[in-house]
Each structure stands twice: as C-alpha cells, then as structure tokens.
Structure 1
Amino acid sequence: MADILALTIPYTAITVADIVFALVVLVAGLLLAGILTGMFRNSLKKTKLPELVVEFLVRFLRALLYVAVLLAVVSALKVDVSSVVVGLSAVIGLVLGFGMQDSLNNMAAGVWIASLRPLDKDEFVTVNGLSGKVHAVGIMATELLTPDNQFITVPNKIVWGSPIVNATRMPTRRVGVDVGVAYATDIPRAVQVAMDVIKQDSRVLADPAPAVVTTELADSSVNLQLRAWVNTGDFWAVKNDLTIAIHAAYGKEDIEIPFPQLDVHMSRL
C-alpha cells in the first residue's frame, strides 16, 4: 500500500498520496463550506435583514468559500498557491478585457437589487416582458418561477436596467372586469345589476368604493368595466368570480352581451 501511495504521476512530482490528500481536503472543504454557509444563514435570519438580502449574502459567501477550497486543494497537490493566484489574476485580467464587463455589471446590479429591493422574495413581478414569483437574487442573476412552474434566470443588469412591475408589493389592488352590452340595453339598469354583483362579494373593500363605468362605445357593444378594490391576495380569485357572476347576472336579467357583428348594406347599382 505504501508503495502505491509513493507512486508519482508521470511528468509531475505529484504522488498518489498527494492526490488522496487533495481529495480529502476537497471533501472536507466542501463539507466545511456547507456548515459555515448554514451557520451564516441562521445568524442572518436572526437579524431584521429581508430574506432576499440574506439569500444574496449567503450565495456570495458560498462562492468565496468555494474559491478558498479550490486554493486549498491546489496547495495539497504541492503546487505553489502564489503562482496559481498570479496566473488566475492574469487570466482574470485577460477576461476582463474581452467581456468580463457584463459579469461585473451583473454583480454590481445584484448588490443594488439586494440593497434597494425593488423586488423581494415571493413577490410576483414582470421584468423585461418576463413574469414570475421571485425565487432569489444571486450574484449574477435573478431567479423567477412562473405560475406554471417554469424556472427563469434573468441577468441582474437586465433586472436593474428595466422597468419592474411589482404586482404584489402594495397591500390592495383594483380588480377590473370588462363586459360589453348591446346598444339597445338600458345602460343605467346594466350598471345597477353590475353594482349589485360587486356588492355581493364580501371580499370587495368598501374604501375605496367600488364602481361601474362606461369605458367605450365599441363597434358592437357599449363596454362597461366593473372596478372593485380588494386585498392583493384576493385579486385573481375575485376577478375570476366577478367575471362568472356578471355573466350569470346579465343572463338572468336578459341583458344581452353581444357577439362581434358587422352590418352590411347592399345597394343595387
């Protein structure tokens, strides 16, 4: 066994024993990095820092620990770490000249996002045309989960440099349900029926007061909009229920919701 461990790798001074030791250092280093990261996360959770900031700092520390483990493994292989650092610095300098700017921009943007928090963990946002619930903000990218469970990674510089529509930041939202009625309809009656539908929903807030407004004289219909303020968590449920309820109510009251139609007048030449 000792003879095997004393064998050297061809064209190098590295022995089998060095490789075994390096593997032990690698495994131990990864385990230690995981333990330290977990302790760091637990300590941060005891503070008042937002969860998004905690996740960002934990990921940043994990990346630094992995670099330290890599250097420890290289050192275990009896390679001069200082020369490796110099070599990495040269490579990094070269990469910086050929496109590392995007990476640095992403890192800087990640710091700003985590600090100023235009979005936060579990909030539903739309960024650059992409919508989803915020899963995390990493060093390089922001992670979103769509309602159908697709995982989207958006570079931080795009998030920071784009308008962010945050659908869940505010405690209340206004539901808008559009419906069209025929031109022959008694509009005040249609409005009153719609108001009754809104008031029957206990989730609708009294302040601001709900309303039904005429939004457009369209080609085939007079368009109305039911407007009701609700708690943000009730938004989609109330929107769905009001849509179903207004359709049923107009059907019961014989208020026509017309199909798109076109009148064609023919004349004999």
Structure 2
Amino acid sequence: MEIVDILNTTTIPLSDITLESVLLAVIVAVIGWIVVRVLISAFTKALSRASHLPELVIEFLVRFLSVLLYVILVLVVLATLGVDVSSVVLGLSAVIGLILGFGLQDTITNLAAGVWVAALRPIDKGEFVEIKGISGTVTSVGIMATELVKADNTYITIPNSLVWGSPVINSSRMDTRRVEVKVGIAYDSDLDLAVRVATDLMASHEAVLPSPQPAVVVSELADSSVNLSLRAWTETSNYWRVRGDLTRDILRAFREGGVEIPFPQVDVHLDRAQ
C-alpha cells in the first residue's frame, strides 16, 4: 500500500504528472509499440499476398500506415500521462496551418505526388531511370521522396514532386532494348565491306537477338570519316554487356578486315606573305 501511495502522491517536478501515470505510460508505450509492429507485419503480409499489387505500392502503403500508427501511439501515451490530447491535435493543426501559411506547400505536394507515383508506377523498385538528368536504380519511393542509387553507389534523394512533374526515362521497363554503337571509317575504305564486317560481328554475338535483325546505317558524312551506326537488339539485362562487347570488338574486326578507322585530321594551307 505504501508503494501505491507513493506512486499516487509523488509527482514529476514542475508538473502534475504522477509516477503512477509515468509507469502506466511506459507500459502503454511498450505494449503499443509491440501492437504497432504486429499490425504493420500483418498488413505487409496481407498486401504481399495480393499479387496484383506491385512491390513499390506495398512499400508506400506500409510506410504510410507506420507513420499513422506511431502518431496514434504517441497521442495515446500522452493521454495516459494526463495531457489533453485534443489540445495537442489542435496545436498540430495550428502548426500545419502556419507551415502552409509560410508557403511550404511543397510538403503536401510531395505527399500527393508520392501517392500518384506509387499508384500509377512510372517507375518501380529495381528499375534504372533518369529523372531531371539524374540516373540511378530505384531503391524505394517514400511518402515524401524517391531514393536512387547511382552506378558509382552514390545515394540520391529526389522530392516526389520532381519525379511526378518531370519526364522520366525508364531504361528497364521494356524487355528488350536496341544497342547503338557508332564508329567512323576512312573515306577511301570499302563501305560495303565495312557494313558486312559489322553486321557479321553483331550476328555472331550470343546475346544479340535475331529479330529484329542487326543493321548498319550510315549516320553521318563527317569531316574526317564516314560514320556508321551499329544497331542490334538484345534483352534489357544484357544491354551494357552487348554495348561494351561491340565497342571493343568492332576495332579488332575492322583491323582484321582491312577497314581503316581514321584519326581526326585538319588540312592547314599557309600562304607565303607578299
């Protein structure tokens, strides 16, 4: 009884909060945290079983629910301590109104954009994309921002409003892609021979698809060379390997076939001063 009396009568300095309320709030916080984790886990599993939902949408919904549940838990803990939760809610509303009043509507814009990105999926987790000149692999789309990892392992965070409001170049969405490698040959080289050598090189590569057929086109009559474009189709996962192989092997193939790749050159004419 003495311990109970002490808990009931002893208060936190400069407040009316008793030790009993603090102890009860700690218990509520611990139990509430466990309940929140269980609910989030169950919600995640339920969404994962819905095969029609993409991983990106599931991740977004789970994050949104997590924030909501933790906010509710904080309010419950405060109520246990005897804090007037209604005044807290009103205070938060006033703060949000103040933030919006100072022109920080970007927060709401990013939130709305995140919902649209997760729902309509112009990008998806694991895809390689370019947004406003920034390219990388999508790791997640959060409530406020989209996260990318560049090829050099640089971590990039882009506000969702920029993702939704900008052209997005998605290099991973389609199953196949066309590889294009440009190379120049000398003007006195046999053009037909060069085209045959390049075509045979592409056709012999194991990762180049037979349909559409590989093609070689004259792309430019430059100052020092006739520029050719080697165009071959491959599966998206093989894009960079095929591009690297063709860029490397076309040099060897042209050398072996007697096709000259010229150096850039400039003719300078000097007139003797009168």
Q: TM-score range by the shorter chain?
A: over 0.9
Distance 2:263 2:43 in 1: 61
User: Aligned residue for 1:46?
Assistant: 49
Q: Structure 2: how far apart are the matches of 1:100 and 1:28?
A: 36
Residue aligned with 2:218, SS: strand
Aligned match for 2:39, one of 10, 33, 36 = 36
Counterpart pick for 1:11 among 9, 14, 17: 14
Letter in 2 for 1:13: D
Unaligned runs of 5+ in 2: none
The count of residues paired between Structure 1 and Structure 2 equals 269
Please tell me whether residue 193 in structure 1 is matched to residue 193 in structure 2.
no
Structure 2 equivalent of residue 64 of structure 1? 68
Task: Provide the C-alpha distance between the structure 2 equivalents of 1:195 and 1:42, rounded to a whole number of angstroms.
Answer: 51
Q: Provide the TM-score with structure 1 as the length reference.
A: 0.94
In 1, Cα distance between equivalents of 2:102 and 2:217: 57
Match of 1:169 among 134, 158, 173: 173
Aligned mates of 2:10, 2:184 — CA distance in 1: 85
Q: Work out which of the residue numbers 206, 228, 240 in structure 2 matches 1:224.
A: 228
Q: Establish whether residue 215 from structure 1 lines up as the match of residue 219 from structure 2.
A: yes
Change (3 A) 1:34 1:259: farther
Residue 16 (structure 1) shift: 3.4
Distance 2:35 2:265 in 1: 71
| Corresponding residue of 2:208 | 204
C-alpha separation between the residues in 2 aligned to 1:31 and 1:218? 69
- State percent identity of aligned pairs: 55
- Moved beyond 6 Å, runs of 4+: none
Partner of 1:109: 113
Residue type at the aligned position of 2:137: K
1:213 counterpart SS class: strand
| TM-score under structure 2 length normalisation | 0.93
- SS of the residue 1:148 aligns to: coil
Deviation readout 1:73-111 (Å, 9 max, x if unpaired): 211211111111122112222222123411111111111
- Alignment counterpart, residue 84 of structure 2, candidates 80, 83, 89: 80
